[in-house]
Amino acid sequence: MNIIKFEVRRSIKSSLLWALVCSGIIIFFMSLFPSMENSDIQEIVFTKLDAFPEGLMEAFGLDNMVDFTNIMQYLAYTIQYISMAIGVYALILGINALLSEEVEGTIEFLYAQPVCRNKIVLTKLLSNAYLLFQSIFIIGLFTIAVSIFFKPEDYDLINLIMGIKEVFLGIYLVAYTYFSIGFFLSSILKPKVGTTSISIGIFFFSYIVGVVSRLKEELELLRFLSPFDYVLPMDLVRYGWERKFLVAAIIIMVLTIAASFFIYDKKDMEI
């Protein structure tokens, strides 16, 4: 427990910063919602998008056009981008979880204490998973608050909150999938690599694979390589959860975390 407390205290500031920046973006977008609802923007957007080829529309998830006058759909569309930022953050947290101790050389302090390697892995896993949970939770709270503020009077409050809850459960799934991939990398990467650039690289590679997977039906299997596409907020709002991706996410998490324990227990630490 002492390691978890220490880790959380050490990283809580950057975690809160991420949460506040993302929340700020959501507040900004939601502040635009009343003008969306009251103008003819929906019609304008539809007109413009009709000019795009169908394949391109599918690739960017625009084939089933968002109803910007519907607060839940507008919110889900906005959160899609926040979900990307959270995905990158989850990867950074995961990759840094074990590796940062070697990068900074602090492992020489930690592992000189009476603590076994599995405990280091477990406590790093829990502390960083907690930081991720907390960040998303804060963003979720801000989202609920700002959505209540801008909600049309006739929109049911309970439905709105339950809808946001569902979207954030999806974000949790995507975030923890990326986090576990990052955590696995943390156990195998050498300390000399740049963790932020690797995180961004991996995320956008998977994102592009996800985009490609939507271009043709035959490529749909590629979607399994893109955790971001497992639970797209817009899809979740419209169609609910897709069981196959839920299972895929759980399998990735279990395998990567189990592998991290195994590898970290056998590796030579680099100081």
Please give the residue ranges that form the binding site for another protein (CB under 8 A): 2, 6, 9-10, 104-109, 111-116, 266, 268-269, 271
Q: Is 98 exposed, middle or buried (0-12, 13-18, 19+ CB in 10 A)?
A: buried
What DSSP state is assigned to residue 34?
A: H
Give the 3-state secondary structure of 117-156. Answer: HHHHHHHHHHHHHHHHHHHHHHHHHHHHHHHHHHCCCCCC
Scanning the structure block, which residue is given the tokens 């959160």?
Answer: 79
Q: How far is the CB of 118 from another protein (least distance, A)?
A: 10
Nearest to another protein of 108, 220 (CB atom): 108
Please state, in angstroms and as integers, the Cα–Cα distance from residue 161 to each residue in 42, 58, 239, 267, following that order.
Answer: 24, 29, 17, 46
Q: How far is the CB of 266 from another protein (least distance, A)?
A: 7
Nearest to another protein of 120, 232 (CB atom): 120
Please state, in angstroms and as integers, the Cα–Cα distance from residue 167 to each residue in 2, 119, 188, 253, following that order.
Answer: 33, 33, 32, 20
Nearest to another protein of 56, 115 (CB atom): 115
Nearest to another protein of 12, 32 (CB atom): 12
Q: How far is the CB of 127 from another protein (least distance, A)?
A: 13
Nearest to another protein of 12, 27 (CB atom): 12
Q: Is 43 exposed, middle or buried (0-12, 13-18, 19+ CB in 10 A)?
A: exposed
Nearest to another protein of 141, 269 (CB atom): 269
Residue partners of 76: CB distance under 8 A and separation at least 6? 66, 163, 167, 233, 234, 236, 237
Q: How far is the CB of 113 from another protein (least distance, A)?
A: 4
Q: How far is the CB of 265 from another protein (least distance, A)?
A: 10
Q: How far is the CB of 19 from another protein (least distance, A)?
A: 20
